[in-house]
A and B are shown apart, each in its own frame.
Chain A
Amino acid sequence: MTSLQQHDIASGSLDRMWAIGARRPEGRGLILLVAVVLGALLFEPGVFTAYPATLGRIALIGLVALGLTAVILMGELDLSVASTLAVSGVVMAMIPNLALGIIAALIVGLIVGAINAFFVVVVGINSFIATLGMLFALRGLALVLSDEQPVRLADVDDGVAFGAPLIGPLTPRVLIFIVLLVGLHVFLTRMRAGREFYAVGGNRAAAKDAGIPVTRRIFTGFMISGGVAALAGAINTLERTAATPTAGSTVLLASIAAAIIGGISLNGGRGSIIGTVIGTLALGLLQIGLALAAVQQDIQQIFIGAVLFIAVVTDPASLRAVAANLRSSMGRGGGATAEPMPSSPQPVAHQ
């Protein structure tokens, strides 16, 4: 008992930090971000002097992650973003006029989002599987449209101009990312339709009973993620001055990882745009930092995987589940394998 008390005193401040981390969904993402920034300052300050590259990298993953956030908040998932990015890029490059091409790309994204939402809401398929089907179908479509070759942009000069810094070191890609992040944040926190996303994700039946147009909100969410993915595809095509039909395959997993690390719950109803941005920053800085420190790409992957794994198993709900499991198995085993079980509400939280 005394050792337990000592333990409590010693870890009191840690506990308080953890309490904040556990209450706010962004907490763990923030802890990771602080750790990565500190690590980078100590070992690889180049991360901050090479910020144009860092920002570009973050903006690419971050853009897709922002769109995904809108969908995940409602307890759905959109795997098709990777292929949407590829298809819209190819469509854009196939149209000689740049402005028309960009508009066409965005329309493709919105249509894909609407189709996804149709299958999820009207037909009633699990969104994970519906968008998995779209992931395959659209990837195929991108390959068919492009004849399995990269499609060169007709207007290369504008593409090159697009990669140049516009304000200070900020390239248009980064600016678009910032505008979108502010826009989505305002939408989800200040506007009625956006705030209702949380209700739809938290308890769909209750949201319906409360008169929230659930179907329309889900359509909006999927069209946001489709449209944003298409925007990312257009930006990618502009910067590379060509559209590759296989673009986006690595972006999918990275952007889901960024959103998860940012504290968004896959069950819906919990998370925020700020969290996703924090997750993206942490992941992007980690990646760039490791790359600048000349860490092999394979080992970078191991780091990212480990961070993601820790993020998902230290979710407060996960810790509660494992604590309940321990308690019940100890009850059955009569304490033979006993470790002292602290009686605080979140027993495993000290680690």
Chain B
Amino acid sequence: MTNIATRQGGRPAGAKVSTHRGGQIASVIQWSAERGIFVVTGVLIVAAAVFVQGFASVVNITDVFHRAAPVGIIAVGMTFVVISGNYLDLSVVPQVATSAVILIAVSNSYGLLPAIVVATLVSLVYGLINGVAVGYFKANAVIVTLATTYIGLGVLRWVSGGNIFFGPRGGTIDTLGQLKFGPVPLSALVLVFMAVLLGFVLSRTGFGFALRAYGSNKDATRLAGVATSRVVLGAFLITSLSAMIAGFVLAAFSNTAVSTVSTGMDFGALAAIIIGGNSVFGGRGSILRTVLGVVFVSVLTNILVLTDIGYGWQQVAIGVLIVLAVSIDALARRVGK
């Protein structure tokens, strides 16, 4: 669909001599909105491998994977909420921390399986509350998930007492968290698995189709007889379950959990989704784009750390990239018309 738009925007304009240059600029903009992230990510990785000392070492690559995995898993899930046109799920912050704390604390006392069951139940409750409020009550997703963030963090800190929980050294969680295949840790494989699974759901199932349709035109989708409220609920449930798995991965890596473990991951995940080129207006986007966004942000952050550029500049870079990515998207839409 977007390919057709590119052709329509590019060719007729290019055919007329007077608007020839305008047509070229338009196709450049549209090309960068479509394919930009693929090229930029590739160039960044090659450049880093060549110019940045210590980037291409096994230790460093493992480190990049470890840092990218939790945010990546959240982002892959949250892509569904973004594509449904509901901006983001702020409450992934308490969800990730809660599942991390439950995994360590409950498995310390009752074993691994009960911990996973409890975490899944809690995650479903989050997804249901957010999804029903946004899907059925048509409430604004930012405010709903802001409220559940307040409640969730409050409950978590109250119940956990703000304590840090440690898993037993050499236990199942610890072993899995340290498991590596060459430079690739298990957490990265979990991210790949989630991306493949959710990519299939988004692009190949009826639910994924309905979600994308809803994101691009809410009224038309509803009038076509799709149970749109249920679709939105589904998007929030997927985000919640992904956040739970991200919490597991995070807890397993350090074998510890604390209520502040996931601070900033809400906007971090959203930044990756947007920089990957998913449209924040809903409707357009893919899991592959999200993964590329995650890779790009992680590699960039890693380069800035390796070259001793401070945390402040990292934030500036991410902010500028968000605005840049969305500006290209907005301009491509305009010239595509």
Residues of A whose CB lies within 8 Å of any CB of B are 77, 119, 123-126, 128-130, 132-145, 148, 245, 253, 256-257, 260, 266, 296-302, 304-306, 308-309, 312-313, 315, 317-319, 321-322, 325
Residues of B whose CB lies within 8 Å of any CB of A are 87, 133, 136-140, 142-144, 146-155, 157-158, 229, 267, 270-271, 274, 280-281, 310-323, 326-327, 330-331, 333-334
Q: Give Cα distance in the complex from A322 to B158, angstroms.
A: 32
Given contacts A126-B281, A144-B310, A119 and B133 within 8 Å (CB-CB): no
Which of these, A123, A136, A317, contacts B271 with CB under 8 Å? Answer: A136
CB <8 Å contact, B137 and A119: no
Number of A-B residue pairs, CB cutoff 8 Å, is 159
Tell me which residues across on chain A come within 8 A of B136, comparing CB atoms.
321-322, 325
Q: How far is the CB of B333 from chain A (nearest CB, A)?
A: 8
CB <8 Å contact, B142 and A266: yes
Tell me which residues across on chain B come within 8 A of A318, comparing CB atoms.
137-139
CB <8 Å contact, B138 and A144: no
Which of these, A138, A148, A319, contacts B319 with CB under 8 Å? Answer: A138
Which of these, A126, A298, A309, A325, contacts B154 with CB under 8 Å? Answer: A298
CB <8 Å contact, B316 and A136: yes
CB <8 Å contact, A140 and B314: yes
Q: How far is the CB of A261 from chain B (nearest CB, A)?
A: 10
Max chain B CB contacts within 10 Å: which of A134, A138, A253, A308? Answer: A308
Q: How far is the CB of B36 from chain A (nearest CB, A)?
A: 16
Max chain B CB contacts within 10 Å: which of A77, A132, A297? Answer: A132
CB <8 Å contact, B326 and A302: no
CB <8 Å contact, B133 and A143: no
Closest to B138 in A: A321
Closest to A326 in B: B136
Closest to B314 in A: A140
CB <8 Å contact, A256 and B146: yes
Tell me which residues across on chain B come within 8 A of A129, comparing CB atoms.
274, 280, 322-323, 326
Closest to A136 in B: B319
CB <8 Å contact, A140 and B313: yes
Which of these, B143, B153, B271, contacts A308 with CB under 8 Å? Answer: B143
Q: Give Cα distance in the complex from A72 to B262, angstroms.
A: 29
Q: Can you sample 18 A-B contacts with CB below 8 Å?
A: A77-B142, A128-B280, A132-B271, A136-B316, A136-B318, A140-B311, A140-B313, A257-B143, A260-B143, A266-B143, A296-B158, A299-B158, A301-B150, A301-B154, A308-B150, A312-B139, A312-B144, A322-B136
Given contacts A132-B270, A132-B322, A305-B149, A140 and B315 within 8 Å (CB-CB): yes
CB <8 Å contact, A302 and B229: no
Given A128-B87, A136-B267, A298-B154, 12 further pairs, Cβ under 8 A: A129-B322, A137-B319, A137-B320, A139-B319, A140-B315, A140-B317, A256-B146, A298-B158, A306-B147, A309-B144, A315-B139, A321-B137
Q: Give Cα distance in the complex from A251 to B327, angstroms.
A: 28
CB <8 Å contact, A140 and B146: no
Given contacts A136-B267, A309-B148, A125 and B327 within 8 Å (CB-CB): yes
Given contacts A140-B316, A144-B313, A312-B147, A325 and B133 within 8 Å (CB-CB): no
Which of these, A132, A143, A302, A304, contacts B155 with CB under 8 Å? Answer: A302
Q: Give Cα distance in the complex from A313 to B147, angstroms.
A: 11
Q: Give Cα distance in the complex from A308 to B153, angstroms.
A: 14
Closest to B160 in A: A298
Tell me which residues across on chain A come within 8 A of B139, comparing CB atoms.
312-313, 315, 318
Which of these, A125, A142, A253, A302, contacts B146 with CB under 8 Å? Answer: A253
Closest to B143 in A: A312
Q: Give Cα distance in the complex from A245 to B315, angstroms.
A: 13
Tell me which residues across on chain A come within 8 A of B147, comparing CB atoms.
257, 305-306, 308-309, 312
Tell me which residues across on chain A come within 8 A of B148, comparing CB atoms.
305, 309
Q: Give Cα distance in the complex from A304 to B155, angstroms.
A: 12
Q: How far is the CB of B228 from chain A (nearest CB, A)?
A: 10
CB <8 Å contact, A302 and B151: yes
CB <8 Å contact, B310 and A148: yes
CB <8 Å contact, B158 and A302: yes
Q: How far is the CB of A42 from chain B (nearest CB, A)?
A: 23
Q: Give Cα distance in the complex from A124 to B326, angstroms.
A: 9
Q: How far is the CB of B119 from chain A (nearest CB, A)?
A: 20
Tell me which residues across on chain A come within 8 A of B313, comparing CB atoms.
140, 144
Q: How far is the CB of B234 from chain A (nearest CB, A)?
A: 15
Q: Give Cα distance in the complex from A121 to B178, angstroms.
A: 49
Q: How far is the CB of B176 from chain A (nearest CB, A)?
A: 31
Closest to A320 in B: B138
Tell me which residues across on chain A come within 8 A of B142, comparing CB atoms.
77, 128, 266
CB <8 Å contact, A256 and B319: no
CB <8 Å contact, B151 and A301: yes
Q: How far is the CB of A118 from chain B (nearest CB, A)?
A: 10
Q: Give Cα distance in the complex from A298 to B162, angstroms.
A: 10
Tell me which residues across on chain A come within 8 A of B314, comparing CB atoms.
140
Which of these, A128, A141, A260, contacts B312 with CB under 8 Å? Answer: A141
CB <8 Å contact, B327 and A140: no
Tell me which residues across on chain A come within 8 A of B312, comparing CB atoms.
140-145, 148, 245
Q: Give Cα distance in the complex from A129 to B270, angstroms.
A: 9
Q: Give Cα distance in the complex from A258 to B283, angstroms.
A: 31
Q: How far is the CB of B90 from chain A (nearest CB, A)?
A: 9
Tell me which residues across on chain B come within 8 A of A136, comparing CB atoms.
267, 271, 315-316, 318-319, 322
CB <8 Å contact, B280 and A141: no
